[in-house]
Amino acid sequence: MTVRGKILLFAVVAVGLVAVVGGALFHLASQGVTSTREVFSMQEQNTLYGKLTGDGIWVPHALLEAHEHGQDTRGVFDGQLRRAKEDFEQLQELVRQEVEPEALLEELTRLGQVREAHLAWMRRTQARVREVHAGQEDRFLHEALDAFHGEVMPYLDAAWQVKRTRLAEHKRQRLEDLRVGLVLSVVVPLVALLLVLGMGGTLFITMRRSSLELLRGAERIGRGDFATELPARSADEYGSMARAFNRMAAELRDTVREKERLAKAEAEASEREMRRYNSLLEETVRRRTAELEEANAQLLFADRLATVGQLAAGVGHEINNPLAFILANLRFAREELERMQGAPSSEDRDELLAALTEAHEGAERVRLLVQDLKMLARADDAQSGPVDVGAVLRSASKMAAHEIRHRARLVMQADGVPLVRGSAARLCQVFLNLLINAAHAILPGQVERHEIKLTARVAVDARVLVEVSDSGCGIPAENLERIFRPFFTTKPAGVGSGLGLSVCQRIIAAHGGDISVESVVGRGTTFRILLPVHTAAEAPAATEMAV
């Protein structure tokens, strides 16, 4: 059988199995619908039988109430009689829909007996109510109920019992059908799936084996093994291709032999010329190789210079701010020491220690920045561990205070946030950059009109969200997509190199976080930083954090 025939056979079998499964499911669904309709019909019949049983109480009461109020009992009786006839007609219609033709006559006869007994009792009750005098009401009701139980209930109980028996049998039969259907709904699709998988697997294995044989033969011929002969056992397309390959290999063998004979003759005549040509070719290759090695070395050197220039510009930009802070604190410490004549007071000593501590923190930032330049963007030695974001924000705000105090009010809300995982020094570098940029976006001298806000809270994705917002000039929409690119800056020449935000983005990415920006010209800018929360399972360790 051809491959096309096998595929068509597989498709026909698969479609047939799908049709079988669909037919089985349709049959089960049809049975379910029919069963539901029959159950509803039987339940409705039971409801009607219950209403007719209740007539033994409600009909005498209705007639007696009309008689006591001086009303015409004939009108009440006609209404009750009409309702009872309608109930019996509905019962007959439900019986015709439910009962099989061979049992229909018996069922209708039984229902007719109930109808005649029930209507006759109603007529006798209507006649008796006219004879009821004051004080005889209870006696009338008891007599009517006793008459109902004696004249109507035997027929009604018999019909109702037959209906309950049939309902129970119907439920039992339908439950059995559902169990069988449940088994079939599992077995039929499973068998169909196994057949499809079996045929598909057989077809796949056969085609794969034939394809691999053709592929191996083609590879051997491609390597020059023209003695290869593929097996051509089948009569399908693969067998035809194998025979074609064998014919091609035979023709190639003859061609190769002829070329070898001619090549041998030509080789003897041109051996000296070939040696000279090979020497020229080897010399050319050596010369070109030397030129390529020299060009490659120049390119590597140029790339290293570009990297050094990029990092040097960024580090120069970053060092300027902490150095200013260090000098300010050291100047303050020197002036205080010159002012003091004796041992410093406790308050002066605390102020000096605080100034020197903050200067030490600024020097640490400088050390890290210089280390970045030295290591050429390699991983630094920053300690990676749990970091208090609030403490880092407070430290950064202190170092940026000299840039902010003449431009805006600084508002910070960073209490109660969980610890994050990372380097406190690196995160401080990021927040310091953003604070300085926020300050530069506001003109000096308008402190009461402008505000720089630092907030830290838990985001909806359980990470820590830090926002640095300002009410400055804002960033034009066309520049928002470029502000994180190296060397892009809108500041005047000599104020910024355009590497600050690029460095911030790399640091946040190294911490496993995200940084984004939102800005409106004339209203301000907000930078949002998302950082992963430190978990107790993460043991503090000195890890290398590449930025």
Q: Is residue 58 part of a domain?
A: yes
- How much is the pLDDT for 538? 61
Phi then psi dihedrals of residue 476, to 5 deg = -60, 150
3 state DSSP class of 523 = coil
CATH code at 429? 3.30.565.10
Q: 194, 216, 251: which is the final residue of a domain?
A: 194
- Whole domain around residue 393: which residue ranges? 379-531
Phi-psi region of 133 (alpha: psi -120 to 50; beta: other; left: phi over 0): beta
- How much is the pLDDT for 18? 75
- Given a contact cutoff of 8 angstroms between Cβ atoms, the answer to whether 369 and 403 are in contact is no
Between the CA of residue 508 and those of 61, 386, 453, 512, what are the distances in Å? 87, 15, 20, 7
Per-residue confidence at 492, pLDDT binned at 50, 70, 90? low
Digit-coded pLDDT (tens) for 289-313: 777 666 544 543 443 344 344 445 4
3 state DSSP class of 135 = coil
Per-residue confidence at 47, pLDDT binned at 50, 70, 90? confident
Q: Which amino acid is at 512?
A: G
Highest mean pLDDT among 224-228, 239-243, 330-334: 330-334
Q: Average pLDDT of 101-129?
A: 82
- How much is the pLDDT for 307? 39
Per-residue confidence at 438, pLDDT binned at 50, 70, 90? very high
pLDDT over 90 at 462, yes or no: no
The Cα 484–Cα 277 span in angstroms is 57
Q: Which of 394, 397, 407 is nearest to 444 (CA)?
A: 407
* Cα atoms found within 13 Å of the Cα of residue 21, Cβ hemisphere only: 17
Tokens found for residue 190: 């499973």
Q: 145, 167, 194: which is the final residue of a domain?
A: 194
- Given a contact cutoff of 8 angstroms between Cβ atoms, the answer to whether 147 and 129 are in contact is no
Tokens found for residue 487: 């060397």
Q: Which residues pair with 465 in a beta bridge?
A: 457, 530
Highest mean pLDDT among 27-36, 59-68, 111-120, 478-487: 111-120
pLDDT over 50 at 4, yes or no: yes
Q: Average pLDDT of 265-292?
A: 76
The Cα 528–Cα 526 span in angstroms is 6
Q: Is residue 425 part of a domain?
A: yes
- How much is the pLDDT for 269? 67
- How much is the pLDDT for 489? 67
Q: Is residue 293 part of a domain?
A: no
Q: 153, 177, 194: which is the final residue of a domain?
A: 194
Q: Is residue 371 part of a domain?
A: no
Between the CA of residue 441 and those of 398, 403, 444, what are the distances in Å? 19, 11, 10
SS (H, E, C) 53-69: HHHHHHHHHHHHHHHHC
The Cα 404–Cα 407 span in angstroms is 5
Q: Which of 513, 508, 511 is nearest to 530 (CA)?
A: 513
Digit-coded pLDDT (tens) for 329-384: 777 777 777 777 666 777 877 887 787 888 777 787 777 655 544 433 334 445 67
Q: Average pLDDT of 416-422?
A: 91
Digit-coded pLDDT (tens) for 517-528: 999 998 999 999
Average pLDDT of the chain, as a whole number? 76
- From start to end of 330-429, where are the E strands? 385-387, 409-413, 420-422
Q: Is residue 128 part of a domain?
A: yes
Phi-psi region of 422 (alpha: psi -120 to 50; beta: other; left: phi over 0): left
Phi then psi dihedrals of residue 533, to 5 deg = -80, 140
The DSSP bridge pattern shows strands 451-458 and 464-470 to be antiparallel
Q: Is residue 231 part of a domain?
A: no
How many domains are contained in the chain?
2
The Cα 481–Cα 485 span in angstroms is 8
- How much is the pLDDT for 273? 72
pLDDT over 90 at 543, yes or no: no
Q: Is residue 19 part of a domain?
A: yes
Per-residue confidence at 487, pLDDT binned at 50, 70, 90? low
Per-residue confidence at 547, pLDDT binned at 50, 70, 90? very low
Per-residue confidence at 324, pLDDT binned at 50, 70, 90? confident
Q: Is residue 307 part of a domain?
A: no
